[in-house]
Amino acid sequence: MSDERYHQRLENDRHTYRLAGTGNRSFTSVADDIGHIDDLVAGYVLGALEPDETSAVDAHVRTCPSCQVSLADAQRTASMLPFVVPMQMPPIDSKVALFARVAHAQRAAAESTLPLRGVEAWRTPTLPTSAGGALVHAGSDGSSSSTAGVTTSRGSRTGWFVSVLSVPLLIALVATGFWGLQLQNQLSSQNSQLTELQSQLANFGSGTTSYPLSPGFDDPQAEGQIVIGSDGRAGMLQVDVNSKDAAGAYELWVNQDGKLVPAAEFTVGQDGKGQARFELDQPFSDYESVHIRAKALDSGQSGSQSDTLVRDSSGALGSTGSGLEISP
Amino acid sequence: MPASDEVGSPPDLIEASDADLIGRAAQGDARALEVLYERYSGVVFSFALRIVTDRPLAEEILQEAFFRAWQQGGNFSAGRGTFITWLLSITHNLSIDEIRRRRRRPQKADSEEPEQVLASVPDTGSGADVEDEVWLGALRDTIGQALAALPPAQREAIEMAYFRGMTQREIAEALDEPLGTIKTRMRLGLQKLKDALGSDGAELA
């Protein structure tokens, strides 16, 4: 197609764009074609389309090989734009922080026995659907807080927790015959509580959805998840701030119509871990975002605090992220 | 964390291709990720900084981009493009998301006049090796010349979209121009860039 003819067609169609199935077309590249998603390609690769336009392009290219080529062509050009920026080097701190985060994620993944890949194994645990769940109990120093625990489906952790609870009691029962009967009663009572909690967790685990949280500005090493029950309102929160200096009171805030509303309080212990159960006024999916923050000294004020962990309704990630890979 | 920099990394890693490195990183080899970081942290950081115009935030984006690349390295396919363009697309998405998030929350920064991409900013050095620096410098010159050759209105439309995260509609409103005009400027500008860059673009992608 000659330049003259091309520009004539361009002029004729400059204010319109058409999706597939319109007009007679016989083109070899986007430069030669007016129609399809041609008017949207540039905006698409430059990230300048409205969401509905982006969706239209995504839907169209799935079934249009020609436009796939056009889009790839334009993306190649757009991908060169970052290189026009003069080089500036980041501080060494950035590298240290990145690899500390990577190392931690690797350790966390290694602790998992689930046959999942990399850090995702830790970030996307699910509640057990059977009564094999674990019990997380408040520590004797109150550091773990929370009235009930969140359990993952990792078998080793389950066994560990049960062992922690049961073994000392069993040893005491055998070693101290005088107190045997009393201890047996205690054990029976605890077993009963354990069975009850396991039952609750099993019920909760049916139809639950797990939402990974992402680190915010305050604690870039923090990790956590929220598990929402089948009713969409009851939830469990589990966080690991990954810092021994982060112990203290924390709050879960939900963004309701642009306003942050407290939903739960919990304590992060010296081990950096904390958990809580909560009940939301609205279904979880109705909130624009959730934020985990260290509790302000001035109670009830979210103030200008930065997030420890965060997630928004699109699955977008915390301090810097986007929702590219995580579905709500 | 691995203590060594690229200089101290095993020779097989230093010589490895980006695709090999991200594959190894995805399998848990942090040294491979470190080599990629040494190669591209400057490009990623500079790009993020240009968009968000805030150094601490750009550092966060830098970390997040590499962390995601490490997490999702198993999904990277060399057949769909180079590692660096993939990494920069992650960086772009993260950066644009951030400035749009800030735009939704009124801040004084929104009233500032954004820098022009082609404005001269002195280099502050690079962690990449000399060969990489030469290649990146030549590439920057080529793209800079191609952008400079665009009609100012087309260059402005591309810049407002790509580096400032504005939609076509927002640009049209900001410039008080018809939406169709903005779309046309972007389309023609991108086409001219493609023509000007020619094989450079194909080589990179």
| A32 → chain B, closest CA residue | B191
Claim to verify: residue B72 and residue B138 sit in the same structural domain: no
Indicate the fold that domain A209-312 takes in CATH.
Answer: Immunoglobulin-like (2.60.40)
Look up the CATH number of the domain holding residue B138. 1.10.10.10
Closest residue, chain A, to B50 (C-alpha)? A85
Of A14, A41, A46, the CB nearest to B161: A46
Q: Which range, of A194-203, A314-323, B23-32, B72-81, averages the lowest pLDDT?
A: A314-323
Q: Which of B87, B112, B137 is the last residue of a domain?
A: B112
Residue B171 forms contact with A (CB below 8 Å): yes
Q: Is residue B199 in some structural domain?
A: yes
Chain A residues close to B29, C-beta within 8 Å? none
Range of the domain at B182: 124-205
| Extended beta strands in B30-183, E state | none
B158 and B81 in a common domain: no
Task: Using pLDDT thresholds of 50, 70 and 90, give the confidence band for residue B56.
Answer: very high
Mean pLDDT computed over every residue of chain B: 80
Chain center to CA of A158: 23
Q: Whole-prediction pTM value?
A: 0.52
Residues B128 and B161 grouped into a single domain: yes
Most confident of A14-23, A207-216, A257-266, B30-39: B30-39
Predicted ipTM?
0.81
Query: Is residue B202 in some structural domain?
Result: yes
Q: Supply the DSSP symbol for A61.
A: H
Of B83, B112, B141, the domain-final residue: B112
Are B67 and A320 in contact by the 8 Å Cβ rule? The answer is: no
Same domain, B59 and B134: no
Q: What is the pLDDT of residue B180?
A: 92
Q: Which CATH number belongs to the domain containing residue B45 in this structure?
A: 1.10.1740.10
- B132 and B108 assigned to the same domain: no
Contacting residues of B for A31, CB less than 8 Å apart: 191, 194
B35 at the A interface (CB within 8 A)?
no
B118 located within any domain: no
Taking only the tens place, the pLDDT of each residue in A8-35 is 344 443 333 333 333 333 333 333 343 5
Which domain-ending residue is among B91, B112, B133? B112
- Domain assignment present for residue B160? The answer is yes
B75 shares its domain with B168:
no
Residues B134 and B176 in one domain: yes
Distance, CA of B142 to CA of B135 (rounded, Å) = 11
Domain boundaries, chain A: 3-83, 93-203, 209-312
Question: Residue B105's pLDDT band (boundaries 50, 70, 90)?
Answer: low
Minimum CA–CA partner of A318 in chain B: B98
Instruction: Report the C-alpha dihedral over residues A191, A193, A199, A204, rounded to 10 degrees.
Output: -140
One domain for residues B103 and B27: yes
Q: Does A69 touch chain B (CB under 8 A)?
A: no
Same domain, B30 and B107: yes
d(CA A82, CA B117): 10
Question: Tens of pLDDT along B125-136?
Answer: 444 566 667 777
Give the count of domains, chain B.
2
Domain identity same for B96 and B145: no
Neighbours of A300 (CB within 10 A): 9
